[in-house]
Amino acid sequence: MIESAVSVLAAMMLGLGSFFMISGALGILRFPDFYSRMHAASMTDTLGTYLIIGGLMFTAGWGLPLFKLTLILVFIFFTSPTAGHALAKSAQLSELRLGGEQSGSAKPGAGGVHSDQHPDSRDLARADRV
Amino acid sequence: MIIATAVALLVVMVMALVRALLGPTIHDRILAVNVFGTKTVLLISVICFISGRPEFIDIALVYALINFVSIIGVLKYFEYQGASAGEGASD
Amino acid sequence: MTTKKSVKATDSGLRYSLYLSLVLGLIWLGNSGHYSPLLLAFGALSVFLVVWIARRMRVVDGESQPFHMSFRLLAYYGWLFRKIVESNIKVAGCAWRGRSAISPVSARVPCALQSDLSRVIYANSITLTPGTVTVSLDKGELLVHALTESGIAELQTGEMEGRVARLDQ
């Protein structure tokens, strides 16, 4: 009885995790600019990953695999924002160099729109206002 | 369900690869490769359970470590390339 | 790594080294699964080596092992997890509705946190919640990019910052 409940819970978590994964990948494909894609990627790295690893943990039962899955979970929990921040900061530096459009939020009015990403001038206006 | 998860992960990896191929800027590609790497970690752990040998989760753990370090390394490389001299050495 | 360690760290340094050895030993035992004397000796050796290198790098302190806030940190991560779930659902909705649902915006968010550790926890939490990403972390303010305006508005209420500030007391 309890075992079947656990396996149903595990299947639900795996299914939900797959759903968030697919949504994140869809976002990575559909969103118009780099920073928006980063939000979609961070979605696959947070809840999608937690749910899939959680489902596997329920499947694993007690033992060393459970401990190792916990380690993977903790590791991804701490590294994915670090990687995301490094990516954003690196993008910021590169677009500053190119005089890109997103860097306008750091230095409004510096340089024109250059790249094939969407030139979202509303960003600049908002950043000035805030 | 666990096999469906593996299929979903493969679909996600294909979508990430499409973004890596399309990606207009280098950072889009790095982002896609990062997503691809973390999904590989999950795929390895899912495959361990499909094949019924959970001991092999070590491989996923090691892959997670390598993936993080390689992404940071690649980013550092492009950051130094992109920044003006001395600006990239802020930390 | 810009923080300079003060001299008073040396007497508590031993305590943190012991904590670090304990944690590393547990991780080693959990990952190994073999408990013959030879392998245990190798494990002890590698733990010793890592602690020695970490001490040489001067990263063994209350900043890398924030034990003084461990219980509050657990409660904080519990709260953060709820936020992560909420914002995941929002971003998933945006992803399915397509680009008409999003309005990317970046803004500078003020940050009054004093210690390096709490500022890093704050920036990390912002990045961890989908929909907001910390792009740069300066003294006094963060540059945050958000998928929708509500993400910025939520940060500007200062709820998360208040919770992080309470961690460090």
Give the gap in angstroms from C-alpha B8 to the nearest C-alpha of chain A: 6
Q: What is the ipTM of this complex?
A: 0.81
Please check whether residue A24 lies inside any domain of the structure: yes
Nearest-CA distance B85 → chain A (Å):
11
**Number of domains composing chain B:** 1
Mutation target to probe the A interface, by most A beta carbons within 10 A, among B41, B48, B57 is B57
Chain C residues touching residue A108 (CB < 8 angstroms): none
- Any domain includes A83: yes
Cβ–Cβ below 8 Å for B58 and C31: yes
- Cα distances (angstroms) measured from residue B59 to each of A52, C138, C168: 17, 38, 37
Task: Tokens for C76, please give them.
Answer: 């904080």
pLDDT in tens, B9-66: 999 999 999 999 987 888 889 999 999 999 999 999 999 999 988 778 889 999 999 9
| 3 state SS of C137 | strand
Residue A129 burial by CB count (10 A; 0-12/13-18/19+): exposed, middle or buried? Answer: exposed
- Take residue C65 and report the two structure tokens written for it: 């092992």
Residue B37 belongs to domain spanning: 2-90
* Structure token pair of residue C138: 């300066």
> Cβ of B39 and A60 within 8 Å?
no
Shortest CB distance from B12 goes to which of A22, A82, A117? A22
Residue A77 lies in a domain: yes
Containing structural domain, residue A28: 2-98
> Which residue of B35, B46, B58 is in closest CB contact with A44?
B35
Domains contained in chain A, number: 1
- pLDDT tens digits in sequence order for chain A, 130 residues long: 788 888 899 999 999 999 999 999 998 998 888 888 888 898 898 999 999 999 999 988 888 888 889 999 999 999 999 998 888 888 887 764 433 334 334 333 333 333 334 444 334 433 433 3
| Residue B51 tokens, joined | 């094949």
Q: Is residue A75 part of a domain?
A: yes
